[in-house]
Each structure stands twice: as C-alpha cells, then as structure tokens.
C-alpha cells in the first residue's frame, strides 16, 4: 500500500463525516434555508461522495499483464476526460481512451488499453481505425488477462439511435431498424463456424464468424491469457412510462429488446468459442445501471449532447444538452459522447465486472 494512501483515506473519511454532520444540522434547521439553496447543498454533498468513491476505485493496483481492446464502451467515451494521444485533431485520432474507463478502474494501465471508439469487430481484429493499427495485433504473448468489449458498432448502434430519434435523413421506424440489425445476430447454429484462424474471413457480413475469429486471433496472440467478453448495459428502464430524450416509450422498449438480443448473441458466440478450447468467458453488465438508466435521476448515461444551440440537431425538434464535443460532431451536431456512460456509469460498470474477475483470479 503506498505511504500516502492511508492518511489520504483517513482525511477524506473525516471530511465526509464533517460534511454529513453539517448536512444533518442544515436539515434540522431547514426552515432557515430556502428549498432551492438546501437542494443545491445536498447535491454538492452527493457529488463529493461520488468523486470520493471514484478516487478510492482509481487507487486499485495496476496489472502490467492485463489488456483491453474493443469499442467506445471500453475505451471510456463519455467521460470527457481522455488521454491526449487518443483525443487529437492533429492526428485525427479520437479513440477517446479515458483514465476513468472501467478498464482503467479495474487496473489496466494506460499503455495496455488499445480500445478505440467506433471500432467494429473487423476493425478490432484486422484493419484498425482512427489511424491506429488493428488492436489484436498489438496484444503480446505475455498477456495474462484480456477484456474485450465489441459488437455494438458492427450492428450500427449509432445509426439505430438516430433512426429512433428521427435525426436528419434517419426518418424510418426504430423497430424496423432494430429488427434488421437483429437478423444479423441470428446466425443458424448449423451454419459453419470457424474453428481455426485459417478459416476466418472478415470480408463477409457474418458477424458471428467475425466475432469468433476475433477471439481465436486474440488467443493466438496471447495464448496464456484468460479472455473476458464484456456485455453492454441496459440503456432504459425495463418498463418505461414516459418519453426519454425525445425517444418514445415504444422505442425505448424496442431499444432494450435489441440490446438484450445483442448481449444474448455475444454470450452465445463466446460459449461456442469456449467449446473449441479457447479460455474465454462472458460477463454480463445488463443491470449495471439499474435505477440509473437514461432519463432516471442521477443517470449513469449521457443524454443527447450537441455542440451548441445552433447545431442542426436542435433545429429538428430536439432539446439536447449543449456541451462541447471532444471530437468533431457528426453532420447533425451530435457529440460522440451522447448515450455513452458518464464517469459514474463507468464506475458502476467496474463494480459490475469486478466480481467475475475476482472469482476467476481466486478459483482453486
């Protein structure tokens, strides 16, 4: 344990205790304070508590032989706090790797996180994107544990969301768009699946086979590593009752159904690859944001974000929060951070993933 840790923790505990006592005094003497002023104070106490928990989580030991690859949900998109080399207009690299991603909170060093926002399965395994080389090729033989978060971009998550929001030319049916993408998840089990890398073909649209090939390639590059596939969290309440960020109740339900279908497919394909002898397991984060889904109090998700009130997205009936994007916004003014976890969301994901990794590390 570092020398500074215990005194710092004790100091923070004392400060939190003082804040809590002060909050109780204010509640007792609440008549002397206007409700808005008291509410702002209590919100600041809650925010400090959240930051304190994040600070404790970030002091976890670093694991030099652990690695992370995948898309925006593992890179840390949405925190608005990114490593400079993955947030550069000069190199057009906006992979958006963050020190507050769940990979970082679980102890994966900055140099070992190759994840990149927007990456499809094929880009992770074969071609690379944002000017970076394929992530699989950078995995070393010495790796002992690999976290992979992939699949959402291959199934065009951003296009589906814009279709549901009716942004720009995306004026179709949210349900139709989701059903189209879900068809790609339902590959008949009887159809041939690659068992060796020589059977791999990334030029065809068989996402099951691409996913299996990605895992086979990861195992070949890092034969001693345990591989964990990380699922995606549920974005909306199980039974929504009101519109959320201009997404109707029906569309929220459709998105949850599509999200569940994607997770089921990833879990099924992971199990199929494990049958070949590849040391791979699936970790579900489906309930990681329970009670803090999009549009809930203290949501773990960023809402629809835009660059400014003059953004095209604001001219088609939407009311996004205006917050400067950390990469060029899309044609309709939406920030890439929209509908991605907040800092608190990544902490929730780390708490959801950690027990499965601990169980593996401490198995007999």
**The predicted structure's pLDDT at residue 178:** 77
Which comes out higher in pLDDT, residue 53 or 106?
A: 106
What confidence category does residue 189 fall into, taking pLDDT thresholds of 50, 70 and 90? low
Which comes out higher in pLDDT, residue 153 or 347?
A: 347
Average pLDDT of the segment spanning 19-48: 40
Cα distances (Å, whole numbers) of residue 169 to 163, 165, 215, 307, 333: 8, 11, 36, 20, 14
pLDDT surpasses 90 at 55: no
CA atoms within 13 A on the CB side of 44: 9
Q: In the chain, where are the structural domains located? A: 5-56, 63-303+339-361
The pTM of this model reads: 0.81
pLDDT surpasses 50 at 43: no
Per-residue pLDDT tens for 110-130? 999 999 999 999 999 999 999
Average pLDDT of the segment spanning 186-207: 80
Instruction: Give every CB contact of residue 346 below 8 A, 6+ residues apart in sequence.
Output: 76, 78, 79, 98, 100, 101, 102, 105
**The predicted structure's pLDDT at residue 52:** 39
**The predicted structure's pLDDT at residue 162:** 76
Average pLDDT of the segment spanning 189-194: 75
**The predicted structure's pLDDT at residue 188:** 61
Which comes out higher in pLDDT, residue 170 or 263?
A: 263
What confidence category does residue 2 fall into, taking pLDDT thresholds of 50, 70 and 90? very low
Query: Residue 65 corresponds to which tokens in the numbers above?
Result: 């032989």
pLDDT surpasses 60 at 148: yes
**The predicted structure's pLDDT at residue 190:** 58
pLDDT surpasses 60 at 284: yes
**The predicted structure's pLDDT at residue 168:** 67
Average pLDDT of the segment spanning 134-147: 98
**The predicted structure's pLDDT at residue 220:** 96
Mean pLDDT rounded to a whole number for the chain: 82
**The predicted structure's pLDDT at residue 328:** 85
Average pLDDT of the segment spanning 296-323: 85
pLDDT surpasses 90 at 275: yes
CATH class, range 63-303+339-361: alpha beta
Average pLDDT of the segment spanning 255-276: 93
What confidence category does residue 205 fall into, taking pLDDT thresholds of 50, 70 and 90? confident
């Amino acid at each position: 344990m570092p020398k500074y840790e215990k005194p710092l923790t004790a100091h923070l505990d004392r400060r939190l205790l003082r804040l809590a006592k002060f909050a109780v005094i204010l509640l007792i003497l609440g008549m002397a304070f206007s409700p808005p002023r008291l509410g702002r104070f209590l919100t600041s106490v809650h925010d400090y508590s959240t930051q304190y928990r994040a600070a404790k989580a970030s002091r976890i030991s670093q694991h030099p032989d652990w690695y992370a690859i995948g898309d925006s949900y593992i890179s840390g998109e949405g925190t608005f706090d990114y490593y400079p080399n993955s947030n550069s207009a000069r190199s057009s690299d906006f992979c958006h790797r963050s020190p507050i991603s769940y990979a970082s909170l679980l102890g994966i060093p900055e140099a070992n996180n190759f994840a990149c926002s927007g990456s499809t399965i094929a880009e992770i395994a074969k071609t690379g994107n944002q000017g970076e080389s394929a992530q699989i090729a950078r995995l070393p033989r010495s790796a002992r544990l690999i976290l992979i978060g992939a699949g959402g971009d291959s199934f065009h998550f951003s296009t589906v969301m814009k279709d549901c929001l009716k942004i720009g030319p995306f004026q179709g049916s949210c349900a139709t768009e989701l059903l189209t993408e879900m068809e790609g998840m339902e590959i008949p089990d009887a159809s041939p699946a690659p068992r060796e890398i020589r059977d791999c073909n990334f030029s065809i649209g068989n996402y099951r086979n691409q996913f299996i090939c990605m895992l086979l390639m990861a195992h070949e590059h890092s034969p001693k590593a345990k591989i964990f596939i990380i699922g995606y969290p549920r974005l909306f309440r199980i039974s929504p009752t009101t519109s959320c960020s201009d997404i109707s109740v029906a569309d929220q339900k459709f998105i949850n159904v599509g999200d569940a279908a994607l997770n089921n497919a990833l879990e099924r394909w992971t199990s199929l690859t494990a049958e070949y002898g590849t040391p791979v397991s699936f970790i579900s984060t489906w309930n990681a944001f329970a009670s803090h889904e999009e549009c809930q109090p203290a949501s773990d998700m960023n809402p629809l974000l835009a660059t400014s009130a003059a953004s095209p997205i604001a001219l088609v009936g939407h009311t996004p929060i205006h917050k400067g994007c950390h990469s060029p916004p899309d044609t309709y003014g939406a920030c890439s951070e929209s509908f991605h976890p907040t800092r608190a969301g990544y902490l929730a994901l780390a708490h959801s993933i950690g027990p499965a990794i601990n169980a593996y590390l401490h198995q007999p």
